[in-house]
Amino acid sequence: MRVLVVNPNTSDDITGVIGEVARRAAGLGTEIVVVTAPFGPRYIATRSENAIAAHATLAALAAHAPGCDGAVIAAFTDPGLFPARELLPVPVVGMAEAAMLTACLLGGRFAILTIADRLAPILREVAETYGLGSRLASVRAIEHPAIDVARDPAAAVERLAGLGRAAINEDGAEVLILGGAPLGTLDRALAERLEMPVLEGIGCAVRLAEMLVRLGARKPRAGSFSRPPAKDLVGVSAELARLFQPAPAGG
């Protein structure tokens, strides 16, 4: 099995963390292919940056998904997730949706710990989009540059532990989610320190992508996630434009 993991940010440091975490989670026989978005923000922290990253994510998926059995979007805003499910013939999993759904299997309510206050309302909107707003206890954030976390992840653990304790004791959270790809290597240390379930979304997404591939669920031919009608596009990559052309016979 071959799973493509796209970093919608343009930081190679963050891509390195994503690759490490994805390969740690992957099962035997799964090849992980990690790519960085071809353009866009170094790290997503606002709605406008997320919109740009969604386009970049679709471009990366269009260029690299051929030959892969499934794909993962490795930014916690899940940029471009639903459009990718329309366009691609293979399962596409977003790390935020995967982490939230997994959290619901472990406890009643979950909290998201992240590294930018501007992300908090966006992450609440993401949870609402997935129908999980009532399961979200809180979003708590520290202001810490994402790229610094990727380069020195241990420096963020103590501050995240404080956020986690507050989310548990004050907000009623029963599961904690690390809300950002740069935090992906911190889940085990934080879980040990807090003695609570702590999830990182990349590993959840890789495992769910593997499961969907093994289930053999086919691409729908009807409904809102069926392939879009053929249409000419201007100013996008050739690979992305090709996904809007007529499907090959039997495709």
Same domain as 86, residue 14: yes
Domain membership of residue 65 (yes or no) is: yes
Domain membership of residue 249 (yes or no) is: no
The confidence score (pLDDT) of residue 150 equals: 60
Q: Mean pLDDT for the chain?
A: 93
Number of domains present in the structure of the chain? 2
Domain membership of residue 101 (yes or no) is: no
Backbone region of residue 80 per phi and psi (left: phi > 0; alpha: psi in -120 to 50; beta: other values):
left
Domain membership of residue 248 (yes or no) is: no
Same domain as 225, residue 139: no
Same domain as 169, residue 237: no
Q: Which ranges of the chain would DSSP assign to H, the alpha helix?
A: 12-25, 47-64, 81-87, 95-104, 119-129, 146-151, 157-171, 187-194, 201-215, 238-242
Handedness of CA 160, 202, 118, 176 (dihedral sign): negative
CATH code at 184? Answer: 3.40.50.12500
- Return all residues near 185 (Cβ < 8 A) that are at least 6 apart: 17, 20, 21, 153, 200
CA–CA separation, 51 vs 206, rounded Å? Answer: 23
Same domain as 129, residue 167: yes
Q: What is the pLDDT of residues 78-131, one digit of tens each?
A: 999 999 999 999 999 999 999 999 999 999 999 999 988 899 999 999 999 999
Same domain as 48, residue 17: yes
Phi, psi of 198 (to 5 degrees): -130, 125
- Return all residues near 39 (Cβ < 8 A) that are at least 6 apart: 10, 52, 56, 59
Same domain as 209, residue 135: no
Q: One digit per residue, pLDDT tens: the chain, 251 residues?
A: 999 999 999 999 899 999 999 999 999 999 999 999 999 999 999 999 999 999 999 999 999 999 999 999 999 999 999 999 999 999 999 999 999 999 999 999 999 999 888 999 999 999 999 999 999 999 999 876 655 666 666 777 888 999 999 999 999 999 999 998 888 889 999 999 999 999 999 999 999 999 999 999 888 999 999 999 999 999 999 999 999 998 766 55
Question: Domain span at residue 234?
Answer: 2-96+204-242
User: How far does Cα 15 stand from its chain's mean position?
Assistant: 12
Q: What is the CA radius of gyration of the chain?
A: 18
Q: How far is CA 3 from CA 26, 51, 61, 199, 249, in A?
A: 9, 24, 11, 20, 25
Domain membership of residue 247 (yes or no) is: no
Same domain as 167, residue 222: no
Same domain as 13, residue 57: yes
Same domain as 86, residue 9: yes
Same domain as 124, residue 92: no
Same domain as 90, residue 208: yes
Domain membership of residue 111 (yes or no) is: yes
Domain membership of residue 251 (yes or no) is: no
The confidence score (pLDDT) of residue 146 equals: 59
Place of tokens 């690759």: 19
Q: Which of 29, 66, 81, 72 is nearest to 225 (CA)?
A: 81
CA–CA separation, 94 vs 77, rounded Å? Answer: 8
Q: What is the pTM of this model?
A: 0.94
CA–CA separation, 70 vs 92, rounded Å? Answer: 6
Same domain as 129, residue 81: no
Tokens linked to 108: 């009643």
Structure letter (DSSP) for residue 130: T
The confidence score (pLDDT) of residue 151 equals: 66
- Tell me the β-bridge partners of 34: 5
The confidence score (pLDDT) of residue 144 equals: 65
